[in-house]
Amino acid sequence: MDHFLYRDGILHAEDVALADIAATVGTPFYCYSAATLTRHYQLFTEALSPLPHLVCFAIKSLSNVAVLKLLGDLGAGMDVVSGGEYRRARAAGVPGDRIVFSGVGKTREEMRLALNGGIRQFNVESEPELRALSDVAVSLGVTAPIALRVNPDVDARTHEKIATGKSENKFGVPIAKARAVYAEAARLPGIDVVGIDVHIGSQLTELAPFEAAFTKVRELTEALRADGHNIRRLDLGGGLGIPYTRSNEAPPLPTEYGAMIRRVLGDLGCEIEIEPGRLISGNSGVLVSQVVYVKNGEGRDFLILDAAMNDLVRPSMYGAHHDIIPVVEPAAASPVQAFDVVGPVCETGDTFAKARALPHLAEGDLVAFRSAGAYGAVMASEYNTRPLVPEVLVKGDHFAVIRARPTFDEILSRDTIPEWL
Ligand SMILES: *Cc1c(COP(=O)(O)O)cnc(C)c1O
């Protein structure tokens, strides 16, 4: 469920007409709904509420500091994968003891940043990382709380670029090796083993792979406790998928996911952490764009938009589908036409959809890409020297620009010409 609905024939974000935002901000822009973000966060906390738990929003899916503040003020923790994301979480007012640090390539500098600023736990992904963290913690005279990210070797049955839980992926330590690595962690100075971490992939549309992974985590918890480790926290990662099309078979709901977690792990006496990104942010955002031209080609018609692959890369990167709907509601039973929906970037890959059935659209009309809140703005670039797409947050009848579109002067001023040239 989200809060992007037609009202009086115009698509609204909550109580604000997207056409009004377009008139103020210009296009393209991302627009997020505070009510939708809040609702999705709460679905998870409610689903886990009988257990001690922390829902850590995966910042990489949508990292604007205003959005992080909204979720942080509700009590959310944050999952960060870089020093930059750590800084965003802190800038949003999230205390260090609600921040978990994931990622395969944490540098010593990033470790120092988090140890000095406060951290709930590092999700350690390899033995070299574990040793580096021990060194850094000892040099600072502190102790680093850790969970080891184990790779359970389960098939998440999702897109190959976002599957992370198979043994051939770069993530985590093979679960068969975990006991040996935990033994080393217990011996290393400056390391406090607090739990186990697992994250098997993104956009999972069924519970079975999660359940297979969590069952292995349960067995590992018991084995590690028998080895003398005080396993008190289980971080189950993110990855729950969202419906990108209305017709799609519906992915499991957070309530079903939470019930499964309680059934498989609820009696272990562990605090549960989860790291959802997409399910909180995905359907909380749209990308609004304007039609630049309608071009009639041979055997196909192109809808050329002012948004491009640099603003929303998911269709060209993952072959992802986004519903595209007109901002002005089409009359019931108005005829549809097949369009190839493309952007202006000089790449054939700059194609959002092929032969998409859309109602009549003309130059100047506005369209909205649905489900664009996750892995949208965060993956945007300035390719073709197109200004970084701005972001807008709506709450009730308020809206605010939460990241402004840079001016061309700002963009050009970042380049410097060496004096010897
Ligand atoms: C990407 C990622 C997430 C979030 O995944 P979603 O599919 O957006 O829920 C959580 N944890 C880790 C370690 C990740 O890499």
CATH architecture of 4-31+282-413: Beta Barrel (2.40)
CATH architecture of 34-280: Alpha-Beta Barrel (3.20)
Residues contacting 73, CB < 8 A, separation 6+: 93
Q: Are strands 144-151 and 121-124 parallel, antiparallel or unpaired?
A: parallel
Residue 119 near residue 147 (C-beta atoms within 8 A): no
pLDDT given for residue 247 in this prediction: 63
Residue 100 near residue 86 (C-beta atoms within 8 A): no
Each residue's pLDDT, cut to its tens digit, for the chain (421 residues) gives 689 999 999 999 999 999 999 999 999 999 999 999 999 999 999 999 989 999 999 999 999 999 999 999 999 999 999 999 999 999 999 999 999 999 999 999 999 999 999 999 999 999 999 999 999 999 999 999 999 999 999 987 777 777 777 777 778 999 999 999 999 999 999 999 999 999 999 999 999 999 999 999 999 999 999 999 999 999 999 999 999 986 656 899 999 999 999 999 999 999 999 999 999 999 999 999 999 999 998 888 999 999 999 999 999 999 999 999 999 999 988 899 999 999 999 988 999 999 999 999 999 999 999 999 999 999 999 999 999 999 999 999 999 999 999 999 999 999 999 999 9
Rounded Cα gap, residues 200 and 20, in angstroms: 41
List, as own/partner pairs, every contact residues 90-99 make where C-beta atoms lie below 8 angstroms and the sequence separation is at least 24, other chains included.
Answer: 90/117, 91/65, 92/65, 92/66, 92/68, 93/69, 94/68, 96/120, 98/54, 98/56, 98/72, 99/56
* Cα–ligand 1 centroid distance for 300 (angstroms): 38
Q: Are strands 351-359 and 336-342 parallel, antiparallel or unpaired?
A: antiparallel
pLDDT given for residue 343 in this prediction: 97
pLDDT given for residue 2 in this prediction: 87
3-state secondary structure of 179: helix
What's the number of CA atoms in the CB half-sphere (13 Å) around residue 137? 21
Active site residue 31: no
Q: Map out the domains of the chain as residue ranges.
A: 4-31+282-413, 34-280
Taking the CA of residue 241 as reference, the ligand 1 atom at the shortest distance is 7
Rounded Cα gap, residues 283 and 2, in angstroms: 6
pLDDT given for residue 293 in this prediction: 98
Residues with CB under 6 A from ligand 1: 58, 60-61, 79, 102, 199, 202-203, 237-239, 275-279, 374
Number of H helices, E strands in the chain: 12, 21
Cα first-last separation, the chain: 56
pTM: 0.96
Rounded Cα gap, residues 189 and 133, in angstroms: 10
* Cα–ligand 1 centroid distance for 101 (angstroms): 12
Rounded Cα gap, residues 285 and 234, in angstroms: 30
pLDDT given for residue 249 in this prediction: 65
pLDDT given for residue 169 in this prediction: 76
* Cα–ligand 1 centroid distance for 163 (angstroms): 10
Residue 370 near residue 13 (C-beta atoms within 8 A): no
- Which is the catalytic residue, given 31, 56, 270, 346? 346
Residues contacting 6, CB < 8 A, separation 6+: 12, 329
Rounded Cα gap, residues 373 and 360, in angstroms: 26
